[in-house]
Amino acid sequence: MKIKAAVVFEKGQPFQIKELELDSPKHNEVLVKVKACGVCHTDEVARQQIIPVPLPAVFGHEGCGVIEELGPGVTTFKKGDRVAFSYGYCGSCEACRSGQTYGCKENRRLNFSGTQFDGTKRLHDGEREVSSFFGQGAFATHAVVHVNNLIPVPDGVDLALAAPLGCGIQTGAGAVLNYIKPGPASSIVITGCGPVGLSAVMAAKIAGCTTIIACDIIDSRLEMAVALGATHTINSKKVISVPEEVKRLTGIGANYAIDCTGIGACVRQSLNCTRSLGTCVVLGATQELTIHVENELMGPGKTLVGIVEGCSVPQIFIPRLLEYYQKGMFPFDKLITFYEFKDISKAFEDTHNGKVIKAVLTM
């Protein structure tokens, strides 16, 4: 069928909305009429080819929509079902079978190779094959998606709102609720208050952290952090040392720190905000980092760990986040600004400039 999609033809080039051919769903896939798709920093990272997804490609990996057609073998969904999309996993490797789909051995291939589950592509521009991102390619009016990427969205939740849960929001919230699981009355420092960091702030409040310190360089983001549950804020441009400031607020440093900036120096700073035996979780896509291992890590017995997608099994965790949302405990809608699909370049520009926190495109 003919669809409209935002295509990136060359490294760093703008999105071009154009007509492409989309094949019918194959084994265990469905055709979805896309309703909305969140804009994630990782789309930009791939557009710049820091993650080398073969081009041309249709990015967009926080999609949602309504199922229009079932491919062979699909038994757990039906036409008309409302679904959100998340990352792909194989379902049969050791990690998947032990309930840790975020550690799937096929993670790279299923999410970043540009192909679908079976290794082939569904999108074509004339004779040329076009990649899809995370097995979705949801910056488009329609997408063919494998059932492992799908999460049913309950009635009573605005479908478009569910889009960004599939990556950035579950990453921040899951780091706290699935990985750290904070002990009673604990302290946490969250650096980088974009959608990922602010989701971690909301989750820290749910988890009962009594000291939630948000750190950023943009005051409006720190104000949003307070509105969502932060007890203290630090504008790192306005203090001499963030770790010293955290020590002043907590006595001996925080139990936990999460870095959501993707900047090596900030990761090191986050590690140094923790007390002995503390844990520092890296969520930002960080390239390189130098630390003095004995003084900063081994000696004080700290844990420095990187995790993806907040250790979330999306089919379990996203319905739980929606439950928190419906109870008023996880107001992630406050982060969202909607844009029409045709304004995709503006949505990326406004996100890049820090003008909006989470842009969501509506198709």
Ligand X SMILES: NC(=O)c1ccc[n+]([C@@H]2O[C@H](COP(=O)([O-])OP(=O)(O)OC[C@H]3O[C@@H](n4cnc5c(N)ncnc54)[C@H](O)[C@@H]3O)[C@@H](O)[C@H]2O)c1
168 part of the interface to ligand X, by CB under 6 A = yes
Do β-strands 358-362 and 336-340 pair in parallel, antiparallel, or remain unpaired? parallel
Burial degree of 209 (CB within 10 A; 0-12, 13-18, 19+): buried
262 part of the interface to ligand X, by CB under 6 A = yes
Give 3-state DSSP helix, strand, coil % of the chain, rounded to 5. Answer: 35, 25, 40
Residue 110 identity: L
Out of Zn ion, ligand X, none, what residue 278 binds, judged by CB under 5 to 8 A for its kind, is none
- Please select the residue that binds ligand X; options are 197, 253, 278, 314, rule is CB under 6 A: 197
Distance of closest approach, residue 229 Cβ to ligand X, in angstroms = 16
Q: Using CB atoms, what's the residue nearest to ligand X? A: 194
Taking only Cα atoms into account, the Rg of the chain, rounded to an integer number of angstroms, comes to 20
Query: Taking CB under 5 A as the rule, which mask of x and - marks residues 11-40 in contact with Zn ion?
Result: -----------------------------x
Out of Zn ion, ligand X, none, what residue 217 binds, judged by CB under 5 to 8 A for its kind, is ligand X
C-alpha to C-alpha distances, 152 to 48, 77, 213, 315, 324, nearest whole angstrom: 32, 9, 34, 8, 16
Tell me whether residue 217 or residue 249 sits nearer to ligand X (CB atom).
Answer: 217
Do β-strands 232-235 and 2-8 pair in parallel, antiparallel, or remain unpaired? unpaired
What does the alpha-carbon distance between residue 247 and residue 174 come to, in Å, rounded to a whole number? 26
- For ligand X, the binding residues in 174-193 under the rule CB under 6 A are 191-193
Distance of closest approach, residue 167 Cβ to ligand X, in angstroms = 5
Out of Zn ion, ligand X, none, what residue 66 binds, judged by CB under 5 to 8 A for its kind, is none
- For Zn ion, the binding residues in 162-201 under the rule CB under 5 A are 167
Query: How many residues are given for the chain?
Result: 363
Residue 272 identity: N
Out of ligand X, Zn ion, none, what residue 193 binds, judged by CB under 5 to 8 A for its kind, is ligand X
Query: Taking CB under 5 A as the rule, which mask of x and - marks residues 102-121 in contact with Zn ion?
Result: --x-----------------
Distance of closest approach, residue 179 Cβ to ligand X, in angstroms = 11
62 part of the interface to ligand X, by CB under 6 A = no
Question: Do residues 88 and 111 make contact, with C-beta atoms less than 8 angstroms apart?
Answer: yes
Spatial neighbors of 277 by CB under 8 A, at least 6 apart, are 300, 301, 302
Tell me whether residue 242 or residue 311 sits nearer to Zn ion (CB atom).
Answer: 311
Residue 210 has a CB neighbour count (10 Å cut-off) of 13
Query: Where does this chain bind Zn ion (CB under 5 A)?
Result: 40, 42, 89-90, 93, 96, 104, 167
Query: Where does this chain bind ligand X (CB under 6 A)?
Result: 40-42, 45, 167-168, 171, 191-197, 215-218, 221, 236, 260-263, 266, 283-285, 308-309, 354
